[in-house]
Structure 1
């Protein structure tokens, strides 16, 4: 049985990023939020676009005011008023100044701005009551960014600040990676949809909804293939179809060692290469990871979204196991596939535990709960109730998983614990 770290290494080695030539599309800026930039962006604009004032005050020549003080103020003639968006008409001569406002263009020959709080105005004259620093409160052209150089690199997620930068740089369209396509289905004769009345022995297929939400949060496109009965022929048909339309295939259930667990056998019959069948983790021990062969039929080959072999994740059937194995193994794979340049691995923090945390010490154990900021220090609060892999209810509002490594059966209250953050960056 593989360790968690070895399983992660195998998975990330299997997954290859989308191709920056074949797997890209052009989108409008307003549709680019949360997308991954496929090509570096440059701009024809300098930032700032021109020398401008960072303060309301007076544009002056430094050599005129360098010895100013409240006892011996420098008196300058005001020759122009320059609000933001106005093109200055004057050149500042010795003994002159221009009234200027934040963001306004600097007039010719002026090299410094004196903030208005250090001046006194009398009609068309201004008294400079303190010596400024040379070039004080002047934002120089191209001091933030020089036109023609790289503005944003490829392989980053476009969040709010990047969208703002691109708008300011007048980039109305962008080349981004297409969204990875993730096929999702659930296996089991006992499963029903949310709209069906429950009969004795049946359970609602919550896994498909949970996985669809997680896939969408990760920036990928979920392809829902429904519930598949525990029948080899039905499983083979849906796996073959999923391999033809998706980059990643997620199934839940059917990967343990029961009489009706057919997934691994079907994968072998389809000539898939199975890389993982069990991981030393609780919950989530039965985990199948395989690479599926290229589609055989002409129709499936034409529908294929990528030239790379799709990666198959056969997740356990219990809902807590599904969520934990997704957060721990599938999410990093989707992030790498999506074209993000770096930072695929899960983010762990060392925090203080509010509660006593226990495991049997045999496997790497994940306990769900919430991070709270207490007096400036993050503290992990374990969710109440049973931490059974079948208990979905107390997973609500979870934002972190506490990790107890093998051999560590107890973490006492106020002791340090490593947690996996569940916020998708």
Structure 2
């Protein structure tokens, strides 16, 4: 049985990111939020576009005011007022100044801005009460970015700051990676849909909804294939269809060693290579990861198959731990796909049998400036879905660790973070 770290390494080595030529699409900037940039962006514009003022005050020649003080202020004639968006008309001569506002163009002849709090105005004259530094409060052309150089690299997720940069650079459209397609289905004769009346022994298929939500949150596109009964013929038909249309296939259930767990046998009949059958993790030990021979070596790589356990807690834990990093790498992000762990203080006593790497769900709270993990109340059975609500972190007890005391340090996987 594989360790968690070995399983993660195998999975990430199997993932081939989307192609930056074949797998791109052009989108409008207003719809580009959370997409992955496929090509580097440059701009023909300098930032700032011109020398401008970083403060409300007075545009001056430094040599006119370098010895100013409250006792001996420099007295300058105001020859112009320059609001933002106005083209200056005057050249500042010795003994002159212009009233200027934040963001406004610097007038010719001026090289420094004196903030208005350090000046006193009387009609068309201003008294400079304190000597500024040379070029103080002047934002020089191209000091933030020089035209023609790389503005944003490929392989980054476009969040609000990047969208703002692209808008300022007048990029109304841009090339992004297409969203990975993830086919999802659940297996089991006991499963029913959410709108179907329950009979004795039946279970509502919550896994499909949870996985679809997680796939959307990851930036991928879920393709819902429904519930498949424990019938080898039906399962083979759905799996064959799924691997033909998707980059990743996720099934839940049917990967254990029971008489009705057919998934691995069907994968083998379809010539799949099974790389993982079980992982030393709790919950989620029965985990299947497989790849298929590519039918089109030029245009399509082999889809990656994840056979997740059927119990809802195991589904969520194995998705967060193994599937999410794979989707991130596939999506074209150049770095940061691996799970990120924090060391925090545990509020509660945490227990494990020590046989497997154990994940306990709960919430992170910031207490007096220190993150603290609070374990969810109730049973941490892999079949208990209810206390998973509002989970934002998983505490990790490594193999051999059976007890973590309250206030002791624990490693946690923070959820819902990029």
**TM-score scaled to structure 1, two decimals?**
0.97
Deviation at 1:306, TM superposition (A): 5.6
Taking the aligned partners of 1:305 and 1:342, their CA distance within structure 2 comes to 26
Matching of residue 291 in structure 1 with residue 291 in structure 2: yes
Alignment partner, residue 357 of structure 2: 364
Gaps of 5+ in 2: none
SS of 1:251 mapped into structure 2: strand
Gaps of 5+ in 1: 296-300
Aligned 1:10-409 pairs, distance under 5 A = 10-295=10-295, 307-409=300-402
Alignment partner, residue 298 of structure 1: none
Deviation at 1:292, TM superposition (A): 1.7
Taking the aligned partners of 1:424 and 1:111, their CA distance within structure 2 comes to 45
Deviation at 1:76, TM superposition (A): 0.7
SS of 2:383 mapped into structure 1: coil
Taking the aligned partners of 1:318 and 1:38, their CA distance within structure 2 comes to 37
Taking the aligned partners of 2:240 and 2:76, their CA distance within structure 1 comes to 82
Taking the aligned partners of 1:306 and 1:324, their CA distance within structure 2 comes to 33
Alignment partner, residue 3 of structure 2: 3
Is residue 218–residue 424 contact of structure 1 (8 Å, CA) maintained in 2? no
Deviation at 1:122, TM superposition (A): 1.0
State which drifts further: 345-354 or 114-123: 114-123
Is residue 43–residue 151 contact of structure 1 (8 Å, CA) maintained in 2? yes
Taking the aligned partners of 1:306 and 1:197, their CA distance within structure 2 comes to 44
Taking the aligned partners of 1:182 and 1:171, their CA distance within structure 2 comes to 30
- In the comparison of the two structures, how many residue pairs are matched? 418
Give the direction of change, closer, same or farther, for the CA distance of 1:306–1:318 in structure 2 (3 Å limit): farther
Taking the aligned partners of 1:349 and 1:238, their CA distance within structure 2 comes to 39
Deviation at 1:305, TM superposition (A): 12
SS of 1:342 mapped into structure 2: coil
**TM-score scaled to structure 2, two decimals?**
0.99
Taking the aligned partners of 1:77 and 1:371, their CA distance within structure 2 comes to 60
SS of 2:287 mapped into structure 1: strand
Taking the aligned partners of 1:312 and 1:293, their CA distance within structure 2 comes to 12
Offset from partner CA, 1:185-213 (integer Å, 9 cap, x none)? 00000000000000001000000000000
SS of 1:259 mapped into structure 2: coil
Taking the aligned partners of 1:171 and 1:110, their CA distance within structure 2 comes to 33
SS of 1:286 mapped into structure 2: coil
State which drifts further: 329-338 or 113-122: 113-122
SS of 1:403 mapped into structure 2: strand
Offset from partner CA, 1:275-306 (integer Å, 9 cap, x none)? 000000000000000002234xxxxx7xx996
Give the ranges of 4+ consecutive aligned residues of structure 1 lying more than 2 Å apart after TM superposition: none
Is residue 244–residue 305 contact of structure 1 (8 Å, CA) maintained in 2? no
Taking the aligned partners of 2:409 and 2:39, their CA distance within structure 1 comes to 42
Alignment partner, residue 419 of structure 1: 412
Taking the aligned partners of 1:77 and 1:424, their CA distance within structure 2 comes to 56
SS of 2:162 mapped into structure 1: helix
Offset from partner CA, 1:364-407 (integer Å, 9 cap, x none)? 00000000000000000000000000000000000000000000
Is residue 247–residue 306 contact of structure 1 (8 Å, CA) maintained in 2? no
Taking the aligned partners of 1:223 and 1:11, their CA distance within structure 2 comes to 21
Deviation at 1:424, TM superposition (A): 3.5
Offset from partner CA, 1:299-350 (integer Å, 9 cap, x none)? xx7xx99611000000000000000000000000000000000001001000
> How large is the RMSD of aligned CA atoms in angstroms?
1.0
Is residue 70–residue 129 contact of structure 1 (8 Å, CA) maintained in 2? yes
Taking the aligned partners of 2:118 and 2:191, their CA distance within structure 1 comes to 75
Taking the aligned partners of 1:409 and 1:305, their CA distance within structure 2 comes to 50
SS of 1:166 mapped into structure 2: helix
